Chain A
Amino acid sequence: MLTALVLILLFPLLIGVALLFKSIPLLNADSIVNLLFSDNWAPNSGKFGFWPFIFSSLYVTVLSFIFSAPLCLLAAIYLTEFASARLIRIMHPVIDILAGIPSVIYGMWGILVIVPFVGDYLAPVFGLNSSGYSILAGGIVLAIMCIPYMLNMLIETFKSVPYGLKEAGFSLGATHWETIKHIVIRKSRPGIISAFGLGMAKAFGETLAVMMVVGNIARITGNPFEAGYPLPALIANNYGEMLSIPLYDSALMFAALVLFVVVLLINLVFRYLIIASNPAKV
């Protein structure tokens, strides 16, 4: 038992150390600032600037968050505060099924539906030309993948607000909306932040589905209708293939290390926010 626990606790550390160890050749060849923030990606001439990948990853993650978070929040409030008991009973298995669908299926569906939708309908609306394989498509697919996760956690959070607390709000003369706004959401703040954090971390690390729709071209663009190339896709696409190029192996390890550290950072930041937002401290 204890050994298992220690192993579980040590695991992240072991992963981090292994990745760091393997990244050392690259870190010796170039400065870390250059590696992280240069946009010159030319492995053949020994230039490894990761910024396009990091940028793409952040971009799709933020987009997916913008699409999914408010939607999940409203849906969870609706389901826990307004919907009939029957609807909730129906929704629960539906959410579980959505959460259990393998990401390759989301990816396929993204290619079949989201990519043409973005390329053929959405881009022309903005007067743009797009193949559909784009940051935006990646963001949408990610958002859809994150929804069941976040929704589930948010529903649980809202359901755990004691009935007596809501009754207290009502009995003081609050309307239903005031009770939701001042009491339910406030009481749930740590849970909401934690749901958002886990959703974001999941989005940032998600590989397959995004890779299938995002276009995989390393460049920096603010235009969401253009292709991007997130970090996980870089690793998955190239590992085991381009390893004849010097330092490429080490570069992919470094990419994994960056991914790992960012996910860790997201977790830490949200953990801090949860503690800071704890209503016990207001």
Chain B
Amino acid sequence: MNTLTAKNTDTLMEPRAIRKTKPESAISIKNLNVHAGSHHILNNINLEIPKNKVTVLLGPSGCGKTTLLKSLNKLTDLYKELDVSGSVFIGKDDILNSNHNIPALRQKMGLLSQKPYPLPVSIFKNVAYGLKLKGVKDKKLIAYNVEQKLKEVGLWEEVKDRLHSSADSLSIGQQQRLCLARGLAVKPQIILADEPTSALDPVSSKIIEERFRELKKYYTIVIVTHILRQAQRLADNVVFMHYGKIIEQGTPEAVLKNPQSSQLKEYLVDGF
């Protein structure tokens, strides 16, 4: 623990020149283990998630990608059967081991799940909800933000005339974009996306994917996908997992074009 803290201050002290050569980490995962009873879901994960880059998590079903994502914003807390140990540093805070203000911590991250789950309120209120939780009262400011975020995800033109109707009335693709807008409205630094396009039609998928390419200028993105082409198109950094372990990681060229491990080779053969 001590050495970790020391090391961390060191990085902060590093002169600019050196830091540039080493990409800055937005999230730094150390010895993360997750158990469910005797099932070792995540096995000693060590991973640096580079800032303002897209990190793609790949791996066969059940290898622990979703669990890894949920560990990053402590959604694992909701599952009493999960036992999480290790450290996850966001900046210099170890979120697993400090009694952090967890809601505030989660607001640093926007989560986009596999299926859209619009809140049971209007389109407008869906996007405004995070701001409301933050205590923003200024109606004009909220309305401005809602409009901005809906524009950011390309939904504004489609919904501007029915902002106050139920979010359930939107198509699935629109709902997913709404969920993205809702997540962006709390001004996160990191976006966590768990197969965000797997439930969508090709057109909506493409829209979401394009949004991600825009968003990566401003956000650190961690995305799980089973679509290798999507991984190729989006990733700066690919992480391949297998049975709760990280097997390979690197640039998309290195990992996808030149796999080393037998597990990854097999996965790629099946995937393409």
Contacts and interface: CB of A to CB of B under 8 A. Distances in A.
Contact of B120 (A163, A170, A175, A186): A186
Contact of B133 (A85, A167, A178): A178
Interface stretch (A8-16, A197-205, A232-240, A274-282): A274-282
B109 A171 contact: yes
Contacts of A175: 103
A168 B106 contact: no
B113 A173 contact: no
B78 A170 contact: yes
B249 interface: no
B121 A281 contact: no
A182 B73 contact: no
Classify the interface of chain A: helix, strand, loop or mixed.
Answer: helix
B117 A168 contact: yes
Contact of B119 (A84, A85, A168, A281): A168
Given A168-B111, A172-B133, A280-B168, A183 B120 contact: yes
A280 B123 CA distance: 11
A174 interface: yes
Contact of B106 (A171, A182, A187): A171
A165 interface: yes
A93 interface: no
Contacts of B134: 173
Contact of B111 (A165, A167, A279): A167
Name the interface size band of chain B.
20 to 34
Contact of B75 (A84, A165, A171): A171
B121 A172 contact: no
A166 interface: yes
Nearest to A162: B117
Given A183-B120, A282-B121, A282-B122, A172 B186 contact: yes
B149 interface: no
A164 B120 contact: no
Interface string B179-190: 100110010000
Contacts of A169: 119
A189 to B, nearest CB: 8
A198 to B, nearest CB: 22
A170 B75 contact: yes
Contact of A174 (B80, B133, B168): B133
Contacts of B171: none
Interface in B167-211: 168-169, 179, 182-183, 186, 192
B110 A166 contact: no
Contacts of A84: 80
Nearest to B75: A167
Contact of B78 (A166, A173, A182): A166
A276 to B, nearest CB: 13
A281 B123 CA distance: 11
> Quick one: which of A171, A186, A187 has the most chain B CB within 10 A?
A171
B113 A164 contact: yes
B130 A279 contact: no
Nearest to B74: A170
Interface in B123-181: 129-130, 133-134, 166, 168-169, 179
B107 interface: yes
Nearest to B114: A164
Contacts of B254: none
Interface in B48-72: 70
Interface string A118-152: 00000000000000000000000000000000000
B255 to A, nearest CB: 28
A280 B169 contact: yes
B115 interface: yes
Contact of A282 (B80, B113, B120): B120
A171 B73 contact: yes
Contact of B117 (A85, A164, A186): A164
A168 to B, nearest CB: 5
Interface string B9-39: 0000000000000000000000000000000
A183 B119 contact: yes
A169 B113 CA distance: 12
Interface hub of A172, A175, A178, A279 (most chain B Cβ within 10 A): A172
20 contacts: A164-B115, A167-B78, A167-B117, A168-B111, A170-B103, A171-B111, A171-B192, A172-B107, A172-B129, A172-B183, A173-B103, A173-B107, A174-B129, A178-B133, A186-B120, A279-B121, A280-B166, A281-B166, A282-B121, A282-B166
Interface of B: 70, 73, 75, 78, 80, 103-104, 106-107, 109-111, 113-115, 117, 119-122, 129-130, 133-134, 166, 168-169, 179, 182-183, 186, 192
Given A164-B113, A164-B114, A170-B78, 19 more contacts: A85-B80, A165-B119, A165-B120, A167-B70, A167-B75, A167-B117, A168-B182, A170-B106, A171-B109, A172-B130, A172-B186, A173-B134, A175-B103, A186-B120, A279-B168, A280-B168, A281-B166, A282-B121, A282-B122
Query: Which A-B residue pairs are the 8 nearest by beta carbons?
Result: A279-B120, A171-B111, A173-B107, A173-B103, A172-B130, A165-B117, A164-B117, A187-B120
